[in-house]
Amino acid sequence: MMCFDKKLEASRRDFYVTDTEIRETDCVISTVELDSLLDEVENLVESEEQGWLGDFSRGLSNGVYFSLFIFPCPGVLCGNAGGTSGGFADVLVERFVKECGGEIAEQRIARNVDSITVTRDGEVLLRAARIYGFRNIQNLVRKMKNNKTPYDYIEVMACPSACGNGGAQIRGETAEERERILKAVEETFAKIGHDASSEARLVFTNYSVTVI
């Protein structure tokens, strides 16, 4: 996981299987911890074969990798539209346009603040936003208290640049290196196939969209 807080969440009582002492998640490994484990594996591998990490990601069932990483079956990486923080705003807008029509326009309001507007015949039907980082969240809360927020839906995340820049991510020593790593993470995530049953899509399954 890209966030250390996931370790705390996994230990909470509301994440136990109902009427049991069994946790829904046995162990949460952060990105930096996984990086250390991979270094150990790489040091144990005798031959520097190209593509061994790709084999590992597909759930390799033999060799030294499997002795450290136990996968009961091969897995499939699934992503979502809208970046590394779940894509809730994007899924909502997509659902809205599908049911009500309209055209989508995105605008960068400020660093870590993106506006998504749906219009039809010059009329604004929906305003959504992605707002990341504590400073932007503080500004958002102040505006909400004064009823000065124009958005109908807001996707909020504490980490600047969203979960791809989470506290448990691998850190570069310089600002330029950190920016390069973040860009690489976002570009790699964007290439992952989208999951039709993602959390964001499941959340909006039980809601209907209506223009008032």
DSSP secondary structure of 58-93: TT--SSHHHHHS--SS-----B-TTSTT--HHHHHH
Q: Are 149 and 142 in contact (CB under 8 A)?
A: no
Q: What is the pLDDT of residues 99-144, one digit of tens each?
A: 899 999 998 888 889 999 999 999 999 999 999 999 999 999 999 9
Q: Which residues pair with 119 in a beta bridge?
A: 103, 124
Q: Are 189 and 83 in contact (CB under 8 A)?
A: yes
**Domain-located, residue 72:** no
User: What is the pLDDT, as a whole number, of residue 129?
Assistant: 93
Residues 187, 119 share a domain:
yes
**Domain-located, residue 55:** no
Residues 19, 93 share a domain:
no
Residues 102, 168 share a domain:
yes
**Domain-located, residue 170:** yes
- Rounded distance, CA 197 to CA 188, Å? 20
**Domain-located, residue 67:** no
Residues 105, 187 share a domain:
yes
Determine phi and psi for 12, rounding to 5 degrees: -70, 150
Residues 182, 95 share a domain:
yes
Q: Which residues pair with 28 in a beta bridge?
A: none
**What is the total count of domains within the chain?**
2
Its domain, for residue 14, covers 1-37
Residues 166, 101 share a domain:
yes
User: What is the pLDDT, as a whole number, of residue 55?
Assistant: 56
Q: Which residues pair with 104 in a beta bridge?
A: 118
**What whole-number percentage of the chain has pLDDT above 70?**
72
How much is the average pLDDT of 195-200?
A: 59
**Domain-located, residue 8:** yes
Residues 29, 123 share a domain:
no
**Domain-located, residue 61:** no
Residue 212 CB-density burial (10 A; 0-12 exposed, 13-18 middle, 19+ buried) = exposed
**Domain-located, residue 105:** yes
- Rounded distance, CA 200 to CA 208, Å? 14
Residues 181, 97 share a domain:
yes
**Domain-located, residue 9:** yes
CA-to-CA separations, 154 to 61, 82, 163, in angstroms, rounded: 43, 13, 16
